[in-house]
Amino acid sequence: MSTLIGLGQPLSDLSSCDELVFESTMHIVQCVVSAPGKAILHGEHAVVHGKVALAVSLNLRTYLRLQPTSTGKVSMNLPNIHTFLSWDVTSLHSLLSDRTADLKNGKELDVDLVPKLRSFIGVTEGVTDPSTMAVLAFLYIYLAVFAESRELPGLTMSVWSELPTGAGLGSSAAFSVCVAAALLSAKGTITSPLGSLEHTARWSEEEMELVNAWAFLGEKIIHGNPSGVDNAVSTWGGILRYHAGKITPLSRVPMLRILLTNTKVPRSTKVLVAGVKDKLNKFPSIMNPVLESIDAVSCTCQQTLTEMASKPTPEHYDVLEELIDVNQHHLNVIGVGHPSLDRLCGVTLALGLHSKLTGAGGGGCGITLLRPDTDFAVKQNAIQELKGCGYDCWETSIGAPGVQQHSLSSIKDEVLKTRRCLMVGGELK
């Protein structure tokens, strides 16, 4: 069994998770929520220089199940990253200062609480692995949401994700959005949107604004100075336009099928961004027109997607494919391509499919558009060839719904398995 040393009491010390349910002096109700990941359709890197970017939700989702307990403990199960921890609520309560009014508004990060949390879980400032950052974000939001309560509730939070970590697909934002939605729902700050016969439902616009604000605090803890795009995409879903710090959800946009490929080539976003800036400073008369052209691609794509909302045509897909090819060439010109991404584009183009990198580039992930009439055999051949290159490949869609609440009966078995505490041979049983 894997645990984080020093972060909390390993859950193997508890006799059974089945004993930890359905009682709470604070009347917390069990809930299940999910939120999507994100990809950049067009505009990566150019957005840093004031150009338009289009961010899209991926229908690869993170699921969170929150259950009340009567044990006086807060437990956290994250099987994707082998993290299973538990804390006494009394020890957590000691972390709260008299600044509860500042905490509960969810607008500003309490910079004093974060180092207290690091000390509490026994990690130093430089430790930023996914497990540590997930624990810090969860504990911060938990304490802040319940800061004004006389007692903290015991609960078990179990998370399962379809998103790989560290791939630039918004896994941390999906986690933060799920945590915020579940804890705000548990507190009663937002109400359950589920009707008696519904399996999935979404909150009101005002309530999603609140979820997004709290999730942004989680992202600040994890990333330091995030743009807010990832958590916004995960909250609202669909397609968002990002320009000069302003985030605008696009209304009535189509869902598009894609292949999402992870080349598994590691890269440094910071180094890649700096490289583009250096090239821009060295060759401004060459690079500025390229960035303007990327901006035009994003705007043309936005216009095309808007037209497709009422009646998509084959010609619309022709335009989307051409824009993908043009933008991929742009990204190679500004220096963020990679041989692994060239191989991805070559494999798919040989099968009549069109691909581009998404995110920072230099490896990482790419997306491939699947037209509605894409032959099943073509799609399967592409997946097999890409896997043969050593890549991970998923069929999914973009433009998926944002954060949702689910009925328990609608949730897949993998999610429900996360309530089990014991790991046998490294796998959930």
| Crossing angle for the helix pair 284-308 and 269-282, to the nearest 10 degrees | 120
- Tell whether 159 and 171 lie within a shared domain: yes
Query: Does residue 340 carry a catalytic annotation?
Result: no
- Tell whether 158 and 13 lie within a shared domain: yes
Please state, in angstroms and rounded to a whole number, the distance separating the CA atoms of residues 33 and 203: 11
> Where in the sequence is the domain holding 75, given as residue range(s)?
9-250+401-428
Please state, in angstroms and rounded to a whole number, the distance separating the CA atoms of residues 37 and 170: 5
Cα separations in angstroms, 398 against 59, 76, 145, 184: 6, 30, 31, 27
- Tell whether 102 and 18 lie within a shared domain: yes
- Say what the pLDDT of residue 8 is: 57
Please state, in angstroms and rounded to a whole number, the distance separating the CA atoms of residues 140 and 183: 11
* φ, ψ at 43 (rounded to 5°): 105, 0
Q: Is the residue at 160 inside a domain?
A: yes
- Say what the pLDDT of residue 423 is: 34
- Say what the pLDDT of residue 195 is: 84
Residue 280 CB neighbour total at 10 angstroms: 18
Selecting among 34, 230, 234, 355, the annotated active-site residue is 230
Domains held by the chain: number: 2
Spell out the residues 6+ positions from residue 158 whose beta carbon is closer than 8 angstroms to its own: 64, 65, 66, 67, 77, 415, 418, 419
Check which CATH number belongs to the domain holding 307 and give it.
3.30.70.890
For residue 144, give the nearest of 177, 99, 207, 85 by alpha carbon: 99
Q: Is the residue at 293 inside a domain?
A: yes
- Long-range CB contact pairs, 314-318, < 8 A, 24+: 314/371, 314/373, 317/369, 317/371, 317/372
Three-class SS state of 173: helix
- Tell whether 131 and 64 lie within a shared domain: yes
Selecting among 172, 176, 185, 298, the annotated active-site residue is 172
Check which CATH number belongs to the domain holding 98 and give it.
3.30.230.10
Q: CB of 85 within 8 A of CB of 142?
A: no
- Tell whether 242 and 275 lie within a shared domain: no
Query: Does residue 172 carry a catalytic annotation?
Result: yes
Q: Is the residue at 155 inside a domain?
A: yes
Cα separations in angstroms, 29 against 68, 88, 149: 7, 20, 16
- Tell whether 150 and 296 lie within a shared domain: no
Cα separations in angstroms, 146 against 32, 111, 139, 156: 19, 18, 11, 15
* φ, ψ at 401 (rounded to 5°): -60, 155
Q: Is the residue at 4 inside a domain?
A: no
Cα separations in angstroms, 354 against 124, 260, 320: 45, 12, 9
Q: Is the residue at 277 inside a domain?
A: yes
- Tell whether 222 and 267 lie within a shared domain: no
- Tell whether 208 and 311 lie within a shared domain: no
Please state, in angstroms and rounded to a whole number, the distance separating the CA atoms of residues 213 and 209: 6
- Tell whether 369 and 227 lie within a shared domain: no
Three-class SS state of 73: strand
The encoded tokens of residue 169 equal 């697909």
Written as tens digits, the pLDDT of the chain (429 aa) is 333 434 555 543 333 333 333 334 567 888 999 999 999 999 999 999 999 999 999 999 999 999 999 999 999 999 988 889 999 999 998 888 655 556 666 778 988 899 999 999 998 888 889 899 999 999 999 999 998 877 899 999 999 999 988 888 999 999 999 999 999 999 999 998 988 788 899 999 999 999 999 999 999 999 988 889 999 999 999 999 999 989 999 988 899 999 999 999 998 888 999 999 999 999 999 999 999 999 999 999 999 999 998 899 999 999 999 999 999 999 999 999 999 999 999 999 999 999 999 999 999 999 999 999 999 999 999 999 999 999 999 999 999 999 999 988 887 665 555 444 333 333 332
**β-strand pairing of 239-243 with 83-88:** unpaired
- Concatenating the DSSP letter of every residue in 344-383 gives HHHHHHTTT-EEEEESS-SSSEEEEEE-TT--HHHHHHHH
- Tell whether 207 and 93 lie within a shared domain: yes
- Tell whether 81 and 188 lie within a shared domain: yes
